[in-house]
Chains A and B, each alone.
Chain A
């Protein structure tokens, strides 16, 4: 079946603008994770969804970042008033049940804030 997909693959925006990044998890996976990967670093956890609810948003860096998963499938990560420091690759992962099951990653969205 299809793996995790993310759109867009690249996003260039200007400082202060609003962006939305989309993640389509593997069908049937109840758990969905967002990570951020800066150049030369490992992925850093942002937020975890179990079904429709955000079970853990402790990794979100500040209130400019928000994510939703209204129907328990597709998720959107929203960033308001973007800053140059937000530039990174945003990775989405899904797993069958979220209780430590294998996480499958999407290809990521490369966000560049000019």
Chain B
């Protein structure tokens, strides 16, 4: 089955700096890669996603890149702000498949220092 590895497990940056979180996946059939942000004690919330027919997607300060050949994808946050502090999870699934359940990485705790 699918396995998703996520690095780093913790990341501390200064406000205004960029943050990059990387994930690798094992199943070449996976074609949908969402990123979720989870604040302490709260529900995971989708912040951006990418499908395998594109290599990059941007939404304001957030971007995701995908390398299908290498089976890895990354989250980029620019001009970080203290409110970006949270745990970020990458995930993989098969869009259009019969299940669509998400396989998650273990998460990255991002701390943005003012």
Interface residues as binary, B86-110 with A (CB distance below 8 Å gives 1, 0 otherwise): 0001010111111111111111000
A114 sits at the interface (CB 8 A)? no
Partner of B46, one of A31, A100, A102, A107: A102
Also in contact, A102 and B34, with CB within 8 A (given A43-B89, A45-B101, A56-B99): yes
Also in contact, A42 and B107, with CB within 8 A (given A100-B96, A102-B49): yes
Most chain B beta-carbon neighbours within 10 Å: one of A40, A43, A95, A107: A43
Q: Nearest Cβ in chain A — how far from B102, in angstroms?
A: 6
B44 sits at the interface (CB 8 A)? yes
Cβ of A42 and Cβ of B89 under 8 Å apart?
yes
Cβ of A43 and Cβ of B104 under 8 Å apart?
yes
Cβ of B43 and Cβ of A91 under 8 Å apart?
yes
In the complex, which range does the number of interface residues on chain A fall in? Answer: 20 to 34
Partner of B97, one of A40, A42, A100: A100
A39-55 interface with B by 8 A CB criterion: 40-45, 48, 55
Closest Cβ neighbor of B42 among chain A residues: A107
- With a cutoff of 8 Å between Cβ atoms, the chain B residues found around residue A55 in the complex are 98-99
Interface residues as binary, B41-52 with A (CB distance below 8 Å gives 1, 0 otherwise): 011111001000
Cβ of A48 and Cβ of B107 under 8 Å apart?
no
A108 sits at the interface (CB 8 A)? yes
Q: How far is the CA of A48 from the CA of B99 in the complex (A)?
A: 7
Q: Nearest Cβ in chain A — how far from B66, in angstroms?
A: 15
Q: How far is the CA of A42 from the CA of B88 in the complex (A)?
A: 9
Q: Nearest Cβ in chain B — how far from A1, in angstroms?
A: 16
* Partner-B contacts on A (CB < 8 A): 4, 31, 33, 35, 40-45, 48, 55-56, 59, 91, 95, 98-108
5 contacts between A and B (CB under 8 A): A4-B43, A42-B91, A56-B98, A100-B31, A103-B100
* Partner-A contacts on B (CB < 8 A): 4, 6, 31-32, 34, 36, 42-46, 49, 89, 91, 93-107
